[in-house]
Structure 1
Amino acid sequence: MTFFDAESGNYWGNTTSPVIGNEDERLSARSVKIFADGALRTGGAALYEPYADNPTTNGFMRLDEEILFKYIPWFLRDGWQVNVHAIGDRANGVVIDAFEASLKGANVTALRPRLEHAQIMTPSDVARLGQLGVIASVQPTHAISDMWYAQDRLGPERVKNLYAFRTIMDMRARITLGSDFPVESMNPLSGFYAAVSRLSPDGKSPHGPGGWFPEQRLTRQEALRGMTIDPAWASFTEKYLGSLEPGKRADFVVLSQDIMAVPVNEILDTKVLATVIDGKAVYGSF
Protein backbone atom coordinates (compact mmCIF):
# COMPACT_ATOMS: atom_id res chain seq x y z
CA MET A 1 0.00 0.00 0.00
CA THR A 2 1.41 3.39 -1.04
CA PHE A 3 0.74 6.48 1.06
CA PHE A 4 -0.40 9.61 -0.70
CA ASP A 5 0.07 13.20 0.51
CA ALA A 6 -2.95 14.83 -1.10
CA GLU A 7 -2.22 18.24 0.38
CA SER A 8 1.05 18.47 -1.55
CA GLY A 9 -0.90 18.50 -4.79
CA ASN A 10 1.74 16.26 -6.31
CA TYR A 11 -0.37 13.66 -8.10
CA TRP A 12 1.76 10.76 -9.31
CA GLY A 13 -0.84 8.11 -10.12
CA ASN A 14 -0.50 8.63 -13.85
CA THR A 15 3.31 8.62 -13.90
CA THR A 16 3.92 5.65 -11.57
CA SER A 17 2.42 2.35 -12.62
CA PRO A 18 0.98 -0.19 -10.16
CA VAL A 19 3.08 -3.29 -9.58
CA ILE A 20 0.71 -6.20 -10.09
CA GLY A 21 2.48 -9.38 -9.07
CA ASN A 22 6.09 -10.24 -9.72
CA GLU A 23 7.17 -13.52 -11.28
CA ASP A 24 6.03 -15.62 -8.32
CA GLU A 25 3.05 -13.39 -7.42
CA ARG A 26 4.60 -12.54 -4.03
CA LEU A 27 4.71 -8.78 -4.43
CA SER A 28 2.13 -6.26 -5.57
CA ALA A 29 1.97 -2.52 -5.03
CA ARG A 30 -1.33 -1.42 -6.48
CA SER A 31 -3.05 0.41 -3.63
CA VAL A 32 -3.04 3.92 -2.21
CA LYS A 33 -4.26 4.90 1.23
CA ILE A 34 -5.92 8.23 1.94
CA PHE A 35 -6.85 9.46 5.44
CA ALA A 36 -10.21 11.21 5.64
CA ASP A 37 -10.33 11.80 9.42
CA GLY A 38 -8.68 10.86 12.72
CA ALA A 39 -9.57 8.40 15.51
CA LEU A 40 -12.55 8.06 17.82
CA ARG A 41 -10.44 7.58 20.92
CA THR A 42 -8.66 10.91 20.44
CA GLY A 43 -11.75 12.84 19.42
CA GLY A 44 -10.46 13.24 15.88
CA ALA A 45 -13.12 11.15 14.12
CA ALA A 46 -15.38 13.41 12.03
CA LEU A 47 -18.99 13.15 13.27
CA TYR A 48 -22.21 14.73 12.05
CA GLU A 49 -23.11 15.77 15.60
CA PRO A 50 -20.84 16.82 18.52
CA TYR A 51 -19.26 14.28 20.81
CA ALA A 52 -21.49 13.42 23.75
CA ASP A 53 -18.61 13.81 26.20
CA ASN A 54 -17.27 16.97 24.54
CA PRO A 55 -20.08 19.01 22.93
CA THR A 56 -17.61 21.68 21.78
CA THR A 57 -16.41 19.54 18.88
CA ASN A 58 -17.62 17.01 16.33
CA GLY A 59 -14.11 16.05 15.28
CA PHE A 60 -12.59 17.04 11.98
CA MET A 61 -11.83 15.95 8.45
CA ARG A 62 -8.14 15.62 7.70
CA LEU A 63 -8.80 16.37 4.05
CA ASP A 64 -11.29 18.73 2.44
CA GLU A 65 -14.12 17.07 0.55
CA GLU A 66 -12.89 18.67 -2.68
CA ILE A 67 -9.60 16.78 -2.40
CA LEU A 68 -11.37 13.43 -2.03
CA PHE A 69 -13.67 14.16 -4.97
CA LYS A 70 -10.66 15.16 -7.06
CA TYR A 71 -8.11 12.46 -6.34
CA ILE A 72 -10.19 9.33 -5.76
CA PRO A 73 -11.45 9.21 -9.37
CA TRP A 74 -7.96 10.01 -10.69
CA PHE A 75 -6.38 7.07 -8.87
CA LEU A 76 -9.20 4.74 -9.87
CA ARG A 77 -8.90 5.88 -13.48
CA ASP A 78 -5.18 5.14 -13.48
CA GLY A 79 -5.58 1.58 -12.19
CA TRP A 80 -4.97 2.02 -8.46
CA GLN A 81 -7.00 0.42 -5.71
CA VAL A 82 -8.14 3.26 -3.45
CA ASN A 83 -8.31 2.64 0.30
CA VAL A 84 -9.68 5.45 2.47
CA HIS A 85 -9.39 5.62 6.26
CA ALA A 86 -12.74 6.75 7.68
CA ILE A 87 -13.84 6.43 11.31
CA GLY A 88 -16.65 8.88 12.08
CA ASP A 89 -20.10 8.84 10.50
CA ARG A 90 -19.48 12.14 8.71
CA ALA A 91 -16.13 10.97 7.33
CA ASN A 92 -17.66 7.72 6.13
CA GLY A 93 -20.55 9.58 4.54
CA VAL A 94 -18.24 11.95 2.67
CA VAL A 95 -16.00 9.12 1.47
CA ILE A 96 -18.98 7.08 0.28
CA ASP A 97 -20.22 10.20 -1.55
CA ALA A 98 -16.83 10.44 -3.26
CA PHE A 99 -16.82 6.74 -4.14
CA GLU A 100 -20.37 6.98 -5.48
CA ALA A 101 -19.43 9.88 -7.73
CA SER A 102 -16.22 8.17 -8.84
CA LEU A 103 -17.67 4.75 -9.62
CA LYS A 104 -20.45 5.75 -12.01
CA GLY A 105 -20.13 3.51 -15.03
CA ALA A 106 -17.03 1.82 -13.60
CA ASN A 107 -16.27 -1.88 -13.17
CA VAL A 108 -16.21 -2.09 -9.37
CA THR A 109 -14.97 -5.68 -9.43
CA ALA A 110 -11.87 -4.55 -11.33
CA LEU A 111 -11.23 -1.62 -8.96
CA ARG A 112 -12.23 -3.05 -5.53
CA PRO A 113 -12.17 0.21 -3.53
CA ARG A 114 -11.97 -0.17 0.24
CA LEU A 115 -13.35 1.77 3.17
CA GLU A 116 -10.76 1.28 5.90
CA HIS A 117 -12.27 0.87 9.40
CA ALA A 118 -15.86 1.96 8.56
CA GLN A 119 -16.37 2.26 12.30
CA ILE A 120 -19.56 4.28 12.57
CA MET A 121 -21.99 4.82 9.71
CA THR A 122 -25.58 5.91 9.38
CA PRO A 123 -27.95 3.13 8.23
CA SER A 124 -28.40 4.86 4.87
CA ASP A 125 -24.64 4.96 4.30
CA VAL A 126 -24.32 1.28 5.18
CA ALA A 127 -26.97 0.57 2.55
CA ARG A 128 -25.07 2.62 -0.03
CA LEU A 129 -21.86 0.77 0.81
CA GLY A 130 -23.50 -2.50 -0.17
CA GLN A 131 -25.10 -1.03 -3.28
CA LEU A 132 -21.81 0.41 -4.53
CA GLY A 133 -19.78 -2.75 -3.91
CA VAL A 134 -17.20 -0.93 -1.80
CA ILE A 135 -15.31 -3.24 0.58
CA ALA A 136 -15.64 -2.60 4.32
CA SER A 137 -12.25 -3.39 5.90
CA VAL A 138 -12.93 -3.69 9.63
CA GLN A 139 -11.06 -4.74 12.76
CA PRO A 140 -13.09 -6.70 15.35
CA THR A 141 -10.56 -6.22 18.16
CA HIS A 142 -11.20 -2.46 17.97
CA ALA A 143 -14.78 -3.14 19.02
CA ILE A 144 -13.87 -4.91 22.24
CA SER A 145 -11.23 -2.29 23.05
CA ASP A 146 -13.54 0.67 22.47
CA MET A 147 -16.72 -0.78 23.97
CA TRP A 148 -15.83 0.44 27.46
CA TYR A 149 -15.90 4.15 26.58
CA ALA A 150 -17.88 4.27 23.32
CA GLN A 151 -21.30 5.12 24.78
CA ASP A 152 -19.89 7.98 26.86
CA ARG A 153 -18.33 9.38 23.70
CA LEU A 154 -21.25 8.89 21.33
CA GLY A 155 -24.37 8.66 23.48
CA PRO A 156 -26.84 5.76 23.84
CA GLU A 157 -28.40 6.01 20.37
CA ARG A 158 -25.50 6.84 18.08
CA VAL A 159 -23.33 4.13 19.64
CA LYS A 160 -25.66 1.53 18.11
CA ASN A 161 -24.14 2.33 14.71
CA LEU A 162 -20.59 1.70 15.90
CA TYR A 163 -18.87 -1.52 14.77
CA ALA A 164 -22.19 -2.74 13.37
CA PHE A 165 -20.68 -5.74 11.57
CA ARG A 166 -23.91 -7.70 11.26
CA THR A 167 -25.72 -4.69 9.82
CA ILE A 168 -22.96 -4.21 7.24
CA MET A 169 -23.21 -7.85 6.17
CA ASP A 170 -27.01 -7.79 6.09
CA MET A 171 -26.78 -4.88 3.64
CA ARG A 172 -24.74 -7.19 1.38
CA ALA A 173 -21.53 -5.22 1.69
CA ARG A 174 -18.36 -7.23 1.30
CA ILE A 175 -16.48 -7.27 4.60
CA THR A 176 -12.90 -8.20 5.49
CA LEU A 177 -11.52 -8.65 8.98
CA GLY A 178 -8.06 -7.42 9.93
CA SER A 179 -6.07 -6.48 13.02
CA ASP A 180 -4.81 -2.91 12.45
CA PHE A 181 -1.55 -4.06 14.04
CA PRO A 182 0.32 -2.53 15.88
CA VAL A 183 -2.71 -0.71 17.29
CA GLU A 184 -4.19 -4.10 18.23
CA SER A 185 -2.80 -7.62 18.55
CA MET A 186 -1.69 -9.21 15.29
CA ASN A 187 -2.91 -12.62 16.53
CA PRO A 188 -5.72 -13.64 14.12
CA LEU A 189 -7.34 -15.71 16.86
CA SER A 190 -7.96 -12.48 18.78
CA GLY A 191 -9.84 -11.02 15.82
CA PHE A 192 -11.82 -14.23 15.28
CA TYR A 193 -12.81 -14.34 18.95
CA ALA A 194 -13.80 -10.67 19.03
CA ALA A 195 -15.94 -11.03 15.89
CA VAL A 196 -17.95 -14.00 17.17
CA SER A 197 -18.19 -13.02 20.84
CA ARG A 198 -17.91 -9.21 21.19
CA LEU A 199 -16.43 -9.93 24.60
CA SER A 200 -13.14 -9.00 26.23
CA PRO A 201 -10.61 -11.84 26.52
CA ASP A 202 -11.83 -12.47 30.08
CA GLY A 203 -15.44 -12.82 28.88
CA LYS A 204 -16.81 -9.41 29.85
CA SER A 205 -18.63 -6.58 28.10
CA PRO A 206 -20.68 -3.51 29.07
CA HIS A 207 -23.77 -5.56 28.14
CA GLY A 208 -22.84 -8.66 30.09
CA PRO A 209 -21.59 -12.15 29.13
CA GLY A 210 -23.69 -12.25 25.96
CA GLY A 211 -21.45 -9.66 24.34
CA TRP A 212 -21.54 -5.97 23.52
CA PHE A 213 -24.50 -5.44 21.18
CA PRO A 214 -24.64 -9.20 20.64
CA GLU A 215 -26.96 -8.79 17.66
CA GLN A 216 -23.90 -7.52 15.76
CA ARG A 217 -21.87 -10.71 16.25
CA LEU A 218 -20.71 -12.66 13.23
CA THR A 219 -21.05 -16.40 12.85
CA ARG A 220 -17.88 -18.45 12.95
CA GLN A 221 -18.15 -19.21 9.26
CA GLU A 222 -18.54 -15.51 8.46
CA ALA A 223 -15.55 -14.64 10.62
CA LEU A 224 -13.43 -17.36 9.00
CA ARG A 225 -14.34 -16.16 5.51
CA GLY A 226 -13.65 -12.60 6.62
CA MET A 227 -10.09 -13.61 7.49
CA THR A 228 -9.37 -15.86 4.50
CA ILE A 229 -11.18 -15.84 1.15
CA ASP A 230 -12.68 -12.35 1.45
CA PRO A 231 -9.42 -10.50 2.19
CA ALA A 232 -7.79 -12.50 -0.59
CA TRP A 233 -10.42 -11.07 -2.92
CA ALA A 234 -9.94 -7.61 -1.43
CA SER A 235 -6.20 -7.81 -2.22
CA PHE A 236 -6.64 -9.28 -5.72
CA THR A 237 -5.06 -12.58 -4.65
CA GLU A 238 -8.13 -14.84 -4.67
CA LYS A 239 -6.75 -16.92 -7.56
CA TYR A 240 -4.00 -18.38 -5.40
CA LEU A 241 -4.77 -17.50 -1.76
CA GLY A 242 -7.69 -17.53 0.67
CA SER A 243 -8.84 -21.14 0.42
CA LEU A 244 -7.39 -24.63 0.12
CA GLU A 245 -8.20 -26.02 -3.31
CA PRO A 246 -6.37 -27.31 -6.39
CA GLY A 247 -4.33 -24.63 -8.13
CA LYS A 248 -3.88 -22.45 -5.06
CA ARG A 249 -0.98 -22.24 -2.66
CA ALA A 250 -1.02 -24.57 0.32
CA ASP A 251 -0.75 -21.78 2.89
CA PHE A 252 -2.35 -22.78 6.19
CA VAL A 253 -1.90 -23.34 9.90
CA VAL A 254 -2.55 -26.40 12.02
CA LEU A 255 -4.33 -25.54 15.27
CA SER A 256 -4.52 -27.43 18.54
CA GLN A 257 -8.32 -27.48 18.49
CA ASP A 258 -11.27 -26.82 16.19
CA ILE A 259 -12.13 -23.13 16.59
CA MET A 260 -15.33 -23.72 14.66
CA ALA A 261 -16.66 -26.03 17.39
CA VAL A 262 -15.07 -25.36 20.79
CA PRO A 263 -16.93 -23.17 23.30
CA VAL A 264 -16.37 -19.46 22.69
CA ASN A 265 -14.53 -19.05 25.99
CA GLU A 266 -11.95 -21.61 24.83
CA ILE A 267 -11.10 -20.08 21.45
CA LEU A 268 -8.21 -18.03 22.81
CA ASP A 269 -6.66 -21.15 24.35
CA THR A 270 -5.93 -22.41 20.83
CA LYS A 271 -2.27 -22.93 19.94
CA VAL A 272 -0.63 -22.94 16.52
CA LEU A 273 1.05 -26.32 16.06
CA ALA A 274 2.40 -25.68 12.57
CA THR A 275 2.54 -23.05 9.84
CA VAL A 276 2.73 -24.20 6.22
CA ILE A 277 3.62 -21.95 3.28
CA ASP A 278 3.52 -23.28 -0.28
CA GLY A 279 3.09 -26.76 1.15
CA LYS A 280 6.23 -26.60 3.29
CA ALA A 281 6.20 -26.45 7.08
CA VAL A 282 8.06 -23.31 8.18
CA TYR A 283 7.10 -23.64 11.83
CA GLY A 284 6.31 -26.69 13.95
CA SER A 285 5.18 -29.99 12.50
CA PHE A 286 2.03 -32.02 11.89
Structure 2
Amino acid sequence: VVKRALDCGYQINTHAIGDRANRVLLEGYEAAGATPAGRHRDEHTQIVALEDIPRFQKLGIIASMQPTHATSDLNMAEDRLGPHRIKGGYAWRTLKDAGIPLAFGSDFPVEKSNPLDGFFASVTRQTQDLLPEGGWYPEERLTREETLAAFTKDNAFAAFQENQLGSLSPGKYADFVVLSSDIMTIPSPQILEATVVATFVGGEMIYGSLN
Protein backbone atom coordinates (compact mmCIF):
# COMPACT_ATOMS: atom_id res chain seq x y z
CA VAL A 1 0.00 0.00 0.00
CA VAL A 2 2.79 2.42 0.89
CA LYS A 3 4.59 1.71 -2.38
CA ARG A 4 1.42 2.34 -4.38
CA ALA A 5 0.83 5.62 -2.56
CA LEU A 6 4.42 6.74 -3.15
CA ASP A 7 4.20 5.82 -6.82
CA CYS A 8 1.12 8.05 -7.08
CA GLY A 9 3.00 10.95 -5.47
CA TYR A 10 1.03 11.04 -2.24
CA GLN A 11 2.26 12.35 1.06
CA ILE A 12 1.41 9.56 3.51
CA ASN A 13 0.08 9.94 7.05
CA THR A 14 0.09 6.74 9.11
CA HIS A 15 -1.31 6.30 12.62
CA ALA A 16 1.05 4.50 14.99
CA ILE A 17 0.91 4.62 18.78
CA GLY A 18 2.89 1.73 20.28
CA ASP A 19 6.54 0.83 19.71
CA ARG A 20 5.64 -2.23 17.64
CA ALA A 21 3.27 -0.23 15.45
CA ASN A 22 5.93 2.41 14.92
CA ARG A 23 8.47 -0.25 13.95
CA VAL A 24 6.04 -1.72 11.41
CA LEU A 25 5.54 1.79 10.04
CA LEU A 26 9.29 2.27 9.64
CA GLU A 27 9.69 -1.09 7.95
CA GLY A 28 6.94 -0.24 5.49
CA TYR A 29 8.42 3.12 4.56
CA GLU A 30 11.91 1.68 4.24
CA ALA A 31 10.74 -1.19 2.04
CA ALA A 32 8.81 1.21 -0.18
CA GLY A 33 11.77 3.56 -0.64
CA ALA A 34 10.34 6.62 1.12
CA THR A 35 12.61 9.69 1.28
CA PRO A 36 12.62 12.88 3.38
CA ALA A 37 11.35 14.86 0.38
CA GLY A 38 7.93 13.26 0.87
CA ARG A 39 7.47 14.70 4.37
CA HIS A 40 5.49 11.65 5.38
CA ARG A 41 3.88 11.77 8.82
CA ASP A 42 3.55 9.42 11.74
CA GLU A 43 0.37 10.33 13.55
CA HIS A 44 0.90 10.10 17.34
CA THR A 45 4.43 8.59 17.59
CA GLN A 46 3.56 8.00 21.23
CA ILE A 47 5.84 5.09 22.11
CA VAL A 48 9.02 4.52 20.10
CA ALA A 49 11.84 2.07 20.76
CA LEU A 50 14.91 4.22 21.36
CA GLU A 51 16.93 2.22 18.84
CA ASP A 52 14.38 3.07 16.13
CA ILE A 53 14.67 6.83 16.47
CA PRO A 54 17.55 7.18 13.95
CA ARG A 55 15.36 5.44 11.38
CA PHE A 56 12.77 8.21 11.69
CA GLN A 57 15.47 10.79 11.09
CA LYS A 58 16.89 8.98 8.08
CA LEU A 59 13.47 8.75 6.44
CA GLY A 60 12.55 12.32 7.34
CA ILE A 61 9.30 11.20 8.92
CA ILE A 62 7.46 13.98 10.71
CA ALA A 63 6.32 13.11 14.23
CA SER A 64 2.77 14.47 14.38
CA MET A 65 2.18 14.45 18.11
CA GLN A 66 -0.34 15.65 20.68
CA PRO A 67 1.21 16.91 23.93
CA THR A 68 -1.91 16.35 26.04
CA HIS A 69 -1.68 12.61 25.38
CA ALA A 70 1.32 12.55 27.71
CA THR A 71 -0.48 14.33 30.53
CA SER A 72 -3.63 12.24 30.05
CA ASP A 73 -1.64 8.99 30.14
CA LEU A 74 0.98 9.73 32.78
CA ASN A 75 -0.87 7.97 35.60
CA MET A 76 -0.89 4.61 33.81
CA ALA A 77 1.65 4.66 30.97
CA GLU A 78 4.72 3.51 32.89
CA ASP A 79 2.79 0.78 34.70
CA ARG A 80 1.84 -0.68 31.33
CA LEU A 81 5.11 -0.11 29.49
CA GLY A 82 7.76 -0.59 32.16
CA PRO A 83 10.74 1.62 33.05
CA HIS A 84 12.72 0.94 29.87
CA ARG A 85 10.09 1.30 27.18
CA ILE A 86 8.65 4.45 28.74
CA LYS A 87 11.93 6.20 27.89
CA GLY A 88 10.70 6.31 24.30
CA GLY A 89 7.24 7.49 25.31
CA TYR A 90 5.98 10.98 24.46
CA ALA A 91 9.63 11.77 23.86
CA TRP A 92 9.40 15.21 22.30
CA ARG A 93 12.85 16.42 23.34
CA THR A 94 14.57 13.18 22.36
CA LEU A 95 12.92 13.18 18.93
CA LYS A 96 13.60 16.85 18.29
CA ASP A 97 17.23 16.59 19.35
CA ALA A 98 17.60 13.63 16.96
CA GLY A 99 16.61 15.91 14.08
CA ILE A 100 13.06 14.61 13.66
CA PRO A 101 10.53 17.30 12.65
CA LEU A 102 7.63 17.73 15.07
CA ALA A 103 4.09 18.87 14.30
CA PHE A 104 1.75 19.39 17.26
CA GLY A 105 -2.03 19.16 17.45
CA SER A 106 -4.85 18.19 19.81
CA ASP A 107 -6.33 14.92 18.46
CA PHE A 108 -9.80 16.38 19.12
CA PRO A 109 -12.28 14.90 20.01
CA VAL A 110 -10.09 12.40 21.90
CA GLU A 111 -8.59 15.39 23.73
CA LYS A 112 -9.87 18.95 24.13
CA SER A 113 -9.39 21.16 21.08
CA ASN A 114 -7.83 24.17 22.85
CA PRO A 115 -4.21 24.43 21.66
CA LEU A 116 -3.26 26.22 24.87
CA ASP A 117 -3.84 22.95 26.72
CA GLY A 118 -1.24 21.34 24.48
CA PHE A 119 1.10 24.32 24.82
CA PHE A 120 0.96 24.01 28.61
CA ALA A 121 1.52 20.25 28.51
CA SER A 122 4.53 20.62 26.22
CA VAL A 123 6.36 23.16 28.37
CA THR A 124 5.50 21.66 31.79
CA ARG A 125 4.76 17.92 31.36
CA GLN A 126 2.12 18.47 34.04
CA THR A 127 -1.61 17.91 34.27
CA GLN A 128 -3.82 20.96 34.62
CA ASP A 129 -3.77 20.25 38.36
CA LEU A 130 -0.01 20.99 38.17
CA LEU A 131 0.95 17.39 38.83
CA PRO A 132 3.43 15.90 39.21
CA GLU A 133 5.50 18.63 40.79
CA GLY A 134 8.34 19.45 38.42
CA GLY A 135 6.73 17.56 35.55
CA TRP A 136 6.57 13.94 34.35
CA TYR A 137 9.89 13.01 32.77
CA PRO A 138 10.64 16.74 32.61
CA GLU A 139 13.74 16.18 30.49
CA GLU A 140 11.34 15.67 27.57
CA ARG A 141 9.84 19.16 27.85
CA LEU A 142 10.17 21.64 25.04
CA THR A 143 10.80 25.36 25.42
CA ARG A 144 8.00 27.81 24.76
CA GLU A 145 9.65 28.88 21.53
CA GLU A 146 9.96 25.28 20.34
CA THR A 147 6.38 24.55 21.32
CA LEU A 148 5.02 27.60 19.51
CA ALA A 149 6.91 26.53 16.40
CA ALA A 150 5.55 22.98 16.63
CA PHE A 151 1.99 24.33 16.70
CA THR A 152 2.52 26.86 13.88
CA LYS A 153 5.33 26.98 11.34
CA ASP A 154 6.32 23.34 11.77
CA ASN A 155 2.73 22.31 11.04
CA ALA A 156 2.84 24.43 7.90
CA PHE A 157 6.02 22.62 6.87
CA ALA A 158 4.33 19.27 7.47
CA ALA A 159 1.55 20.31 5.08
CA PHE A 160 3.88 21.73 2.38
CA GLN A 161 2.39 25.16 3.16
CA GLU A 162 5.37 26.90 4.72
CA ASN A 163 5.23 29.63 2.05
CA GLN A 164 1.63 30.49 2.92
CA LEU A 165 1.08 29.68 6.60
CA GLY A 166 2.79 29.18 9.92
CA SER A 167 4.42 32.55 10.58
CA LEU A 168 3.78 36.24 10.13
CA SER A 169 5.90 37.08 7.10
CA PRO A 170 5.42 39.18 3.94
CA GLY A 171 3.36 37.29 1.38
CA LYS A 172 1.75 34.88 3.84
CA TYR A 173 -1.93 34.75 4.79
CA ALA A 174 -1.69 36.50 8.17
CA ASP A 175 -3.86 34.01 10.04
CA PHE A 176 -3.32 34.56 13.77
CA VAL A 177 -4.92 35.09 17.15
CA VAL A 178 -4.44 37.76 19.79
CA LEU A 179 -4.39 36.36 23.32
CA SER A 180 -5.25 37.98 26.62
CA SER A 181 -1.78 37.22 28.01
CA ASP A 182 1.74 36.76 26.68
CA ILE A 183 2.08 32.98 26.92
CA MET A 184 5.79 33.27 26.16
CA THR A 185 6.55 35.06 29.43
CA ILE A 186 3.79 34.55 32.02
CA PRO A 187 4.15 31.92 34.77
CA SER A 188 3.27 28.58 33.26
CA PRO A 189 0.04 27.96 35.27
CA GLN A 190 -1.37 31.19 33.81
CA ILE A 191 -1.10 29.77 30.29
CA LEU A 192 -4.28 27.83 31.02
CA GLU A 193 -6.08 31.06 31.91
CA ALA A 194 -5.28 32.84 28.64
CA THR A 195 -8.19 33.49 26.29
CA VAL A 196 -8.56 34.50 22.66
CA VAL A 197 -9.22 38.25 22.34
CA ALA A 198 -9.35 38.35 18.55
CA THR A 199 -8.92 36.07 15.55
CA PHE A 200 -7.57 37.22 12.19
CA VAL A 201 -7.86 35.30 8.92
CA GLY A 202 -6.10 36.67 5.88
CA GLY A 203 -5.21 39.77 7.87
CA GLU A 204 -8.85 40.61 8.68
CA MET A 205 -10.40 40.33 12.11
CA ILE A 206 -13.27 37.83 12.07
CA TYR A 207 -13.76 37.45 15.83
CA GLY A 208 -13.38 39.61 18.90
CA SER A 209 -12.21 43.13 19.44
CA LEU A 210 -8.98 44.99 20.10
CA ASN A 211 -10.68 47.89 21.91
TM value normalised by structure 1: 0.72
User: Bigger relative contact order, structure 1 or 2, given CA contacts below 8 A and separation 6+?
Assistant: 2
1:157 shift after superposition:
2.2
Report whether the alignment pairs 1:129 with 2:70. no
Which residue in 2 is equivalent to 1:82?
Answer: 12
Structure 1 stretches of 4+ with a deviation exceeding 3 A read none
Letter in 1 for 2:100: A
Amino acid at match of 1:182: P
Q: 1:268 aligns with which of 185, 192, 196?
A: 192
Q: Which runs of 5+ in 1 are unaligned?
A: 1-70
2:164 maps to which residue?
240
- SS of 1:238's equivalent in the other structure is coil
Match of 1:154 in 2: 81
1:182 to 102, 109, 120: 109
Counterpart residue number, 2:178: 254
Structure 1 or 2, whichever has the larger Rg, is 1
**Equivalent AA in structure 1 for residue 102 of structure 2:** I
Q: Is the 8 A contact 2:50 2:87 kept in 1?
A: no
**Greater helix share, structure number:** 2
- Alpha-carbon distance between aligned partners in 2 of 1:112 and 1:130, rounded to the nearest angstrom: 11
Determine if the alignment matches structure 1 residue 163 to structure 2 residue 87: no
Question: How many Å apart are 1:156 and its aligned residue?
Answer: 2.2
C-alpha displacement of 1:131? 1.7
Tell me the amino acid that sits aligned with residue 139 of structure 1. Q
Unaligned runs of 5+ in 2: none
Match of 2:207 in 1: 283
How many angstroms apart in 2 are the aligned matches of 1:116 and 1:103?
19
1:95 aligns with 2:22: no
Write out per-residue CA displacement over residues 17-50 of structure 1, whole angstroms, 9 at most, x where no aligned residue.
Answer: xxxxxxxxxxxxxxxxxxxxxxxxxxxxxxxxxx
Residue 117 of structure 2 corresponds to residue 216 of structure 1: no
Q: Distance in 2 between matches of 1:264 and 1:102?
A: 44
Q: Does residue 172 of the first structure (1) align with residue 96 of the second (2)?
A: no
Q: TM-score, normalised by structure 2?
A: 0.97
Query: Which letter maps to 1:212?
Result: W
How far apart in 2 are the matches of 1:156 and 1:133?
Answer: 28
% identical aligned pairs: 51
SS in 2 for 1:157: helix
RMSD, matched Cα: 1.0
